[in-house]
Structure 1
Amino acid sequence: MRNKNVAIRKIVKYLNNPEYDGGFWLPNIQRPFVWGPEQIEKLFDSIMREYPISTMLVWRTPSIIKRRKFIDNYYDGIKLSQFQIPEDSRTKLLVLDGQQRLQSLFIGLCGSHSKQELYFNVLSGAPTSTEEMRYQFRFLPSARAAFPWVKFKEIVFSNEMPNDLARNLETKAASALTEDQERTLIRNLWQAQRVFVSEEYVGYQELDSVDNPEAYTENDVVEIFIRANSGGTKLGKSDLLFSLLTASWQDADEAMEDLIGELNLSGYEFTRDFVMKTCLVLLGKGAAYDVKKFRDEQTKQDIIEKWPRISSAIRDVRDYLHSKTFIRSDRALPSYLTLIPVIYYRFHFPQQWQSLSGLDTYLLRTLLCGAFSGRPDGLIDKCIRRINQDQDFSVTNLFEVLRNDGRNLDVFEESLFQTSYGSKAIHLIFNIWYRQFDYQPAYAGNLPQVDHIFPQSLLKSMKDENPETGRQSLLRYPAAVRDQLANCMLLTADDNGFQGKCDKLPRDWFADKSDAYLSMHLIPARPSLWEIEKFDEFIVARKALIVAKLKHLISGSEASPHSTKPEPAHEEHPFTDDSKSIKLAEDPQPEAEEPVSTADTQIPASIEKHNDTTTGSLAAETGTVEATLAKFLDRISEPTKYIAGFRTNDGKELAFERTGEFVTLWTQRVVLSDSEFEPTREYSDIDTRNSNLNRKNCPALRLGNPVLFWKLDGEEDLLDFLNWYSAAEVHQRLESVDG
């Protein structure tokens, strides 16, 4: 292995350039480019600050391996297949680790992002905090770019001396520069030339299979790739497993891209992660990710040989979803995992699939109740075992499995009205409710939008007297009240756009609306309820109308006697499309079960109990989650309105979002190899995150540190999570997200 260093201006010329030792390329085992404009801009700021950007890993080889070019002009939805190049046996350099950084440099210096080029504010650079951008970079359309914004590639690739370039740029200023501005301009140009042109700023390690062909076989390189990426936040598990698959199946990348592209044509967001997990389940390997499964040659061969059947099963279930139900977009699909048992049944029992009934009931209940949230792998496996045992997709028996696993399948009025603005569940309910709305417009900006009936801005302005101070300072309507389902409606983009509803009061917006419009939106017909003073009465009346509309969904519900208009003679079912003649089966009820006692809930043994006498009342106010955290962890400081920070016995930090809908946590990046928990998202040190994570309440979680973001289902999961996190090892790698 050789260590090399090269200047940035030089290395971007090596990308896609066979004239330099075969050129730098991306092997197909690499995932797609994932950095957004802000991350690219921060990378350039980091380089100008002379922050280290980590060593990259390159494989020099003559092997006939599928590879692709780096992208110069990037845009969302770009297809990697456009950048594939013919295989050959010539020497080439394949980037194993460092794609995101090199691709970002290439876009910034040689291309564009979404038709916008990278500009640099040549008068920026004033000292600032480490979290903020010191040197300002922005992707801008050329029509909006005026001095002091200068196209950065023209600075880096200029052959003028910085002082001469500065004089030329000064002529583009609208007014004469001050002496301080002139000094800043010249200093920035010299700094850019030094770190991007003169210094060998980029370092990479080269695995050489040309001069030393016995040193690194293709299998060795795949293993090196996995080890280089599996420990940190660089790649998800599905990316790593997919890299093993592509080593045996050269067309894997194209086949996967084609399938996902087809699945998502109508507004869904199926992912490679979902497809990989589905493959494991269909082949009887269990839902949990495990690198060992993809190291097994038989598993890889089964996926390759059965791919036509696997992809066909996934397509058929997606087609059923789109054509037979009103779940016709990603917005209305809170969890894709609920589809895996259905796909399994379609794959293994294709003949019985043709006459399957009750599927809409299964989908509706599991999605509305979040049955596959939390730790779903074991639950998926239990469902698969029951399908195999029954040789059938018995909704009754599957619901029994779910209930025995502690999953709720009953939609009560209380849980229905806990659905709120911003959640996927509200779009699922609205898809059932509003049949005439188009969730698949030609332009994404025309998607239906959830809007507050009584505007947030007005409700926020309403205050009550604080008895302690005598001032009108207490919010009358907190977020949970403002955002509740009964204060939300679905509007077209036009209705909610300029000259649309915006912040209009109900009395103004509904004044000229027809009875049909009010009926569609379930608006109480009495105009007196549309006044802000009648907000509470409006909510009560509208809840009654919603219950009447969705009575088929609500367990044990009787139709509400209130209605804006008489009930129609024929009540369409709110979930399935009658034109498709799909019958909704009655909600099957399993035999009664013995209630589960919670009296013997055990505290994780590895968590030492702490006394917390100073914050008991505060914990009580914010619920049992924070009380549990305060019981077993040390508080870092007094919590803010939004964040409570804690430390484990060995000093690892954890932050609790006090206003989250779920048990929402932030932790330091720890080793995940043996974890049964999956983070919702992994953040690199330069990824923006909740701005309330700061130096005071959780210094190790603020910007500048890699962190993990988690959503747990409840206190039982929380106890298990704390037990695991307390024993977990902090990951020592400091690189930014890359791959």
Structure 2
Amino acid sequence: MSFQTPLTICEVINDVHSKKYLLPSIQREFVWGPEQITMLFDSLMRNYPINSFLFWKVPKEKASEFKFYEFLRDYHQKDNKHNPKANISGSDDVMAVLDGQQRLTSLYIALKGTYANKIAYKKWDNPLAYPKKKLYINLLGAPEDISYKYEFEFLTESEATEQDDDHHWFPVGKILDLKELSDVMDYLITSGLAANPDKEKAQCANRTLSKLHAVIHVNRIISYYLEQSAELDKVLNIFIRVNSGGTTLSYSDLLLSFATAQWETRDAREEINEFIDEINQIGRGFNISKDIVLKACLVLCDISDISFKVDNFNRTNMLLIEKEWDNITKAIRDAVTLISSFGFSRENITSNNLMIPVAYYLKTIGLPNNFETSTSRIGDRKNIKLWFVSALLKRVFSFAPDGVLKPVREIIKTQSANGFPVDAIFAQFKGTNRALQFTDDDINNLLYSKYGHGDTLVILSILYPWADLKHNFNVDHMFPKSEFTAKKLKAKGVPDSKVDDFIANHNYIGNLQLLETIPNIEKKAMDFDAWLSQKVPAGELPDYKKKHYVPNVTLDFSSFDVFLEEREKLLIKKLETELRN
């Protein structure tokens, strides 16, 4: 391995664009966020070192023995986050990147590509939640954040047009077209920046754009070492050592790297990524990661040590996982489908480890088809849901998940002849800090869940077992939320002494119900008693009250405290029935 003559960023970006540089299958995918990219560019502009790179030159006669991927060019958090497979059928040697992929991808996206990540308040399946953005630099001033010297931002085209006296957003990628310093001067003149009456602003624009030109075209910033060995074992060892510090390589990435290198008939990277994309589309959507799928592989293949250690990612285990891959994927897919039918999704599952024992059970009993709908499996599904909900609410996977997965796997392996062994699993953890049994205090504490909290929909799924939460059910305030202001409550005749308590308690689960979308829209902010009398037919009213735990009390606003107390008694009774096996 030898140190090479450094390159300019422009030279490297052109080579990435022409696919001279590729990524070996042992590399993980792009994971940097916008903040990391902007910090990289701020560092470059400040002449801070960005560490050296490590490239691997693979002779063309050896290249076909390995798998390579192209750099990601336009990142989209939902629809385009996987690297495309590279075609290496040409006659040239392959130059692969062993260390520096995140930095090179960030440089390429910033200079030639786009970045589309989800807007925080929009739903993950909304196409408008992922606006396409490019990297811009403000030529007229410094950012408010004093940890940065230069103001880089990912902006949409419309955002970038919002210029003022303190902002001129220059698309960073345009610097590739300004090859000579004279081109920079021409841009400053034609854009009017050079003629800015504020001389300090004009000078700032000149210094900033000239500096960016030097960083991209002039300074030889990309220092790199070149490894020319074609021995995979040696390259793997170098790769692991280079990526052993910090957070540059997770265990799941390492496992996937080994699987990709050692599977014989499948492409592990493509198989696993495609499978993850598929299962995350089930029902209302999930957020299952490589970590969960790869951990499930260890569990479902009955590998004795399921911890994420390099020793467990040996060739024997990887080939076993490859052999069992079809059964593993069916088990996980069926488990996710079943959990979705219970009403769960990415929105209300706090640990995806919960799915692994369900998948292991389905694999143990022979992967029956249509498990989630078969009438012969009703009792089994009830027991699985009891365990799932109890483990979810009790947070049994909140630390050291292997301490749950291993004993539960052993119980399922030896005691599943008569169905899902929920009693044995509950007995296993009784009296420990992972106890699944619910005491009176535990059940009472569930009533303190509020609208919008993660556990609330879980609890409502227990209270409404008849509701198919895969479809359009909404969490609704029985006594409408909008009416809980001091002014409105007093206007409804609520005594001053009760107003604060009413406001404090209206968001608790005692005032929440599940309604289908259309009735929920119709209800809007109608008072609960008025809505019942106007929208629920008299003949259906007794059944409605039973299904929604409506107590036989006065339902006007002035009696909200009585309603809440009596309804909570009904909810506790139902929770005791459902959560105690």
TM-score, length of structure 1 as denominator length: 0.61
Superposed CA deviations along residues 151-204 of structure 1, whole A, max 9, x for unmatched, are: 121134313443332112226x9x954111111111111111122221112222
Q: Answer whether contact 1:366 1:409 (CA < 8 A) is retained.
A: yes
1:71 alignment counterpart: 72
1:243 to 235, 254, 257: 257
2:155 alignment counterpart: 140
Q: CA deviation at 1:251?
A: 0.5
2:567 alignment counterpart: 545
Q: CA deviation at 1:311?
A: 1.1
Specify the code of the residue in structure 2 equivalent to 1:319.
T
1:398 to 425, 444, 458: 425
Q: Which has the higher helix share?
A: 2
Aligned-partner Cα distance in 1 for 2:426–2:368: 19
1:281 alignment counterpart: 299
Q: Residues 24 and 450 of structure 1: is their aligned pair in 2 closer, same or farther, counting only changes over 3 Å?
A: farther
1:120 to 124, 129, 137: 137
Q: Answer whether contact 1:68 1:83 (CA < 8 A) is retained.
A: yes
Q: CA deviation at 1:16?
A: 4.2
What does 1:626-705 correspond to in 2, within 5 Å? none
Aligned-partner Cα distance in 1 for 2:45–2:520: 43
Q: Residues 270 and 361 of structure 1: is their aligned pair in 2 closer, same or farther, counting only changes over 3 Å?
A: same
What SS does the aligned partner of 1:554 have? helix
What SS does the aligned partner of 2:31 have? coil
What SS does the aligned partner of 1:268 have? coil
Superposed CA deviations along residues 207-257 of structure 1, whole A, max 9, x for unmatched, are: 123xxx5xxx11221222222223311222111111111111251011112
What SS does the aligned partner of 1:233 have? coil
1:222 alignment counterpart: 236
Q: Residues 206 and 182 of structure 1: is their aligned pair in 2 closer, same or farther, counting only changes over 3 Å?
A: same
Superposed CA deviations along residues 261-309 of structure 1, whole A, max 9, x for unmatched, are: 22111211221111111111122223321110112x2111101111111
Specify the code of the residue in structure 2 equivalent to 1:264.
N
What does 1:198-217 correspond to in 2, within 5 Å? 198-209=218-229, 213=230, 217=231
2:402 to 377, 381, 401: 377
Specify the code of the residue in structure 2 equivalent to 1:165.
Y
Q: CA deviation at 1:367?
A: 1.9
Q: Answer whether contact 1:453 1:489 (CA < 8 A) is retained.
A: no
Q: Residues 458 and 106 of structure 1: is their aligned pair in 2 closer, same or farther, counting only changes over 3 Å?
A: farther
Q: Residues 241 and 168 of structure 1: is their aligned pair in 2 closer, same or farther, counting only changes over 3 Å?
A: same
Q: Residues 305 and 184 of structure 1: is their aligned pair in 2 closer, same or farther, counting only changes over 3 Å?
A: same
1:334 to 350, 354, 362: 350
Specify the code of the residue in structure 2 equivalent to 1:345.
Y
What does 1:536-575 correspond to in 2, within 5 Å? 538=560, 541-542=563-564, 544-549=566-571, 551-554=573-576
Q: Is 2:247 the counterpart of 1:233?
A: yes
What SS does the aligned partner of 1:135 have? coil
Specify the code of the residue in structure 2 equivalent to 1:300.
M
Aligned-partner Cα distance in 1 for 2:563–2:484: 22
2:43 to 46, 53, 64: 46
What SS does the aligned partner of 1:187 have? helix
2:186 alignment counterpart: 164
Aligned-partner Cα distance in 2 for 1:493–1:187: 57
Specify the code of the residue in structure 2 equivalent to 1:310.
I
1:153 alignment counterpart: 173
Q: Residues 80 and 118 of structure 1: is their aligned pair in 2 closer, same or farther, counting only changes over 3 Å?
A: closer
Q: Is 2:33 the counterpart of 1:31?
A: no
Specify the code of the residue in structure 2 equivalent to 1:123.
L
Aligned-partner Cα distance in 1 for 2:518–2:35: 30
Aligned-partner Cα distance in 1 for 2:244–2:3: 22
Aligned-partner Cα distance in 1 for 2:204–2:468: 54
Q: CA deviation at 1:486?
A: 4.6
1:258 to 261, 274, 283: 274
What does 1:570-649 correspond to in 2, within 5 Å? 587-588=580-581
Q: Residues 326 and 81 of structure 1: is their aligned pair in 2 closer, same or farther, counting only changes over 3 Å?
A: closer
Q: Residues 545 and 487 of structure 1: is their aligned pair in 2 closer, same or farther, counting only changes over 3 Å?
A: closer
1:417 alignment counterpart: 447
Q: Answer whether contact 2:178 2:213 (CA < 8 A) is retained.
A: no
Q: Residues 162 and 428 of structure 1: is their aligned pair in 2 closer, same or farther, counting only changes over 3 Å?
A: same
Specify the code of the residue in structure 2 equivalent to 1:368.
L
Q: RMSD value over aligned CA atoms?
A: 3.9
Q: Residues 81 and 50 of structure 1: is their aligned pair in 2 closer, same or farther, counting only changes over 3 Å?
A: closer
Aligned-partner Cα distance in 1 for 2:217–2:328: 50
Q: Answer whether contact 1:25 1:94 (CA < 8 A) is retained.
A: yes
Q: Answer whether contact 1:248 1:300 (CA < 8 A) is retained.
A: yes
Instruction: List alignment gaps of at least 5 residues for structure 1.
Output: 442-446, 460-475, 556-583, 589-739
Specify the code of the residue in structure 1 equivalent to 2:184.
P
Q: Residues 29 and 123 of structure 1: is their aligned pair in 2 closer, same or farther, counting only changes over 3 Å?
A: same
1:407 to 434, 439, 443: 434
Q: CA deviation at 1:335?
A: 2.1
Aligned-partner Cα distance in 1 for 2:192–2:531: 58
Q: CA deviation at 1:352?
A: 8.3
2:325 to 282, 289, 307: 307
Aligned-partner Cα distance in 1 for 2:326–2:152: 46
TM-score, length of structure 2 as denominator length: 0.76
Specify the code of the residue in structure 1 equivalent to 2:421.
S
1:291 alignment counterpart: 310
Aligned-partner Cα distance in 2 for 1:54–1:496: 57
2:393 alignment counterpart: 368
2:459 to 408, 424, 429: 429
Aligned-partner Cα distance in 2 for 1:398–1:299: 27
Q: Answer whether contact 2:330 2:367 (CA < 8 A) is retained.
A: no
Q: Answer whether contact 2:29 2:83 (CA < 8 A) is retained.
A: no
Q: Answer whether contact 1:365 1:409 (CA < 8 A) is retained.
A: yes
Specify the code of the residue in structure 1 equivalent to 2:259.
L
Aligned-partner Cα distance in 2 for 1:9–1:264: 38
Instruction: List alignment gaps of at least 5 residues for structure 2.
Output: 117-131, 487-499, 537-543
Superposed CA deviations along residues 580-633 of structure 1, whole A, max 9, x for unmatched, are: xxxx8x843xxxxxxxxxxxxxxxxxxxxxxxxxxxxxxxxxxxxxxxxxxxxx
Specify the code of the residue in structure 2 equivalent to 1:138.
E
Q: CA deviation at 1:391?
A: 4.7
Aligned-partner Cα distance in 2 for 1:92–1:198: 26
Q: CA deviation at 1:448?
A: 5.7
Aligned-partner Cα distance in 1 for 2:514–2:416: 42
Superposed CA deviations along residues 695-724 of structure 1, whole A, max 9, x for unmatched, are: xxxxxxxxxxxxxxxxxxxxxxxxxxxxxx
Aligned-partner Cα distance in 1 for 2:560–2:567: 11
Aligned-partner Cα distance in 1 for 2:484–2:55: 54
Q: Answer whether contact 2:475 2:512 (CA < 8 A) is retained.
A: no
Aligned-partner Cα distance in 1 for 2:293–2:24: 21
How many residues were matched structurally?
509
- How much identity, in percent, do the aligned residues show? 29
What SS does the aligned partner of 1:119 have? strand
Q: Answer whether contact 1:222 1:247 (CA < 8 A) is retained.
A: no
Q: CA deviation at 1:545?
A: 2.1
Q: Residues 495 and 185 of structure 1: is their aligned pair in 2 closer, same or farther, counting only changes over 3 Å?
A: farther
Aligned-partner Cα distance in 1 for 2:573–2:58: 65
Q: Answer whether contact 1:439 1:448 (CA < 8 A) is retained.
A: no
What does 1:457-472 correspond to in 2, within 5 Å? none
Aligned-partner Cα distance in 2 for 1:119–1:86: 32
Aligned-partner Cα distance in 1 for 2:517–2:396: 32
Specify the code of the residue in structure 2 equivalent to 1:246.
T
Q: Answer whether contact 1:371 1:402 (CA < 8 A) is retained.
A: no
Superposed CA deviations along residues 4-54 of structure 1, whole A, max 9, x for unmatched, are: 422222211111425xxxx11122222222223333233222322333222
